[in-house]
Amino acid sequence: MTELRVVDVVEEQLDSVWQVRNRSFGPGGDREEWTKNARTFIADGRMLGVQDGDVLVAAARIWPFEQWWQGRRVPMGGVAGVVVAPEYRGRGVGSLLMRGVLRRCAEKGYPLTGLYPATTVLYRRLGYEFAGSRYRFSFQAADLRTLGGSGTAVRKAGPADADRFLELASKAHETRRSSGPLIWPRSEIVSWLEDEDNFAYLADDGFVVYNWSDGDLAVDELIAGSEETARALWATVGSGASIARTVHAYCAPFDPIHLLAEHEADGDARTVRWMLRLIDAPAALAARGFPENVVLEADLRIDDPELPTNTGDWHLSIANGSARLTASEPSPDALRLGARGLAALYAGTPLAALRGAGLATGADVLDPALDAVFGSPAPYMLDYF
């Protein structure tokens, strides 16, 4: 154990990473495609491992995302592929690896980091907390087919439309003041649009990407800037009703489709929760959006032993839809938060819930105001990574 150290994974170690991955997640996947993808992470210093001597025993990678928070884009390091060899589990290897990931996210300038946890114990110890969910709703294909929108022109999309897809999604999330959805690197959008297993269609103010899923259809994303476009794109998906009885859709619980479809989505909606952590508290708050025409002044005391630059006494000022977090003198009226509480507050978790879980203490006079400025439609993701 004395030789354990965090390292940058190099290409010669990818065989070892693949073996640990198989022992962690089980066999499966296209190894050639996985290796090609892994090389892009290695080239940019976004794949870390833990070595015991010369043996690689754990690995993780970091996606270069941006994430919408109240309609503004915030850089976010998406942590994925966290694997530890079975014989090294329970020995602190995962914590050592993730501390290296936190440091690398800071070096890369990501104010936030997010992940889908295989276990909450490790990540909570390191300051992550639940922030939102990924929802999958199931609709009757025949129901979607009848939504109309026949007057809206819809055409097949391809790789050359990647920039337009990003533009339309950005406009929609800014307008809706969305929290949670990801902005993927353009190269990934191109790859999806090149994939013959994906069906992509484009209208003037919207698009849809969907595919087959075990005899059903699955909508990965549908963006529409108007009711007519929403109807046209959902009807395009529903046109497969003669083959597929069900359409699974990854969307927000408040997406317009819930108001447009005649029948309610099936009761077995699938929900997968994701976690968030602040890497750079002042930068994360400065980048996030807040409600316009709201003014708030509050004192905070943050305790973050993993990232000491976040620890200390701070003053939070919110005005004109933006926030500033500046170092200040200790205040008896400060709201006290650890890293988990700070992440949950950032994501809009009510202060009453944080206090009930022991994640927030101190003065409570500003709780209603903090709930108002941080609260928003529930954060959600469309993608799994």
Fold of 4-127: Aminopeptidase (3.40.630)
pLDDT above 60 for 332: yes
Question: Which 3 state secondary structure label does DSSP give 225?
Answer: coil
Q: What is the pLDDT of residue 257?
A: 98
> Could you tell me which CATH number the domain at 135-272 has?
3.40.630.30
Task: Give the number of other Cβ atoms within 10 Å of residue 257's Cβ.
Answer: 23
Q: Write out 268-316 in H/E/C secondary structure.
A: CCEEEEEEEEECCHHHHHHHCCCCCCCCEEEEEEEECCCCHHHCEEEEE
pTM of the predicted model as reported, rounded to 2 decimal places: 0.95
CA distances 10 to 4, 43, 51, 160, 249, Å, are: 17, 9, 12, 33, 38
**Per-residue pLDDT reduced to its tens digit, 100-125:** 999 999 999 999 999 999 999 999 99
pLDDT above 90 for 81: yes
* Cβ contacts of 21 within 8 Å, gap of 6 or more: 59, 81, 83
The tally of CA atoms less than 13 A away on the side-chain side of residue 313 is 9
| 382 DSSP assignment | S
Domain parsing of the chain, residue ranges: 4-127, 135-272, 280-338+350-374
Q: What is the pLDDT of residue 2?
A: 64
CA distances 369 to 283, 328, 331, 334, Å, are: 21, 20, 18, 14
**Per-residue pLDDT reduced to its tens digit, 235-244:** 999 999 999 9
| 378 DSSP assignment | P
The secondary structure element, H or E, covering residue 114 is strand 112-115
**Per-residue pLDDT reduced to its tens digit, 13-37:** 999 999 999 998 888 889 999 999 9
> Does 280-338+350-374 match 135-272 at the fold level?
no
pLDDT above 80 for 192: yes
**Per-residue pLDDT reduced to its tens digit, 268-281:** 889 999 999 999 99
> Could you tell me which CATH number the domain at 280-338+350-374 has?
3.30.1050.10
Cβ atoms of 293 and 166 closer than 8 Å: no
Q: What is the pLDDT of residue 376?
A: 83
CA dihedral 340, 346, 352, 353 (to 10 degrees): -50
Question: Which 3 state secondary structure label does DSSP give 118?
Answer: coil
**Per-residue pLDDT reduced to its tens digit, 297-312:** 999 999 999 999 999 9
CA distances 315 to 288, 297, 323, 330, 336, Å, are: 16, 7, 10, 9, 12
Instruction: Please give the Cα distance from 99 to 186 (Å, whole number).
Output: 29
Residue for token pair 């129901």: 143
Cβ atoms of 159 and 200 closer than 8 Å: no
* Cβ contacts of 73 within 8 Å, gap of 6 or more: 66, 67, 170, 183, 287
The secondary structure element, H or E, covering residue 216 is strand 216-224
Mean pLDDT rounded to a whole number for the chain: 97
Lowest mean pLDDT among 9-18, 36-45, 189-198, 261-270: 261-270
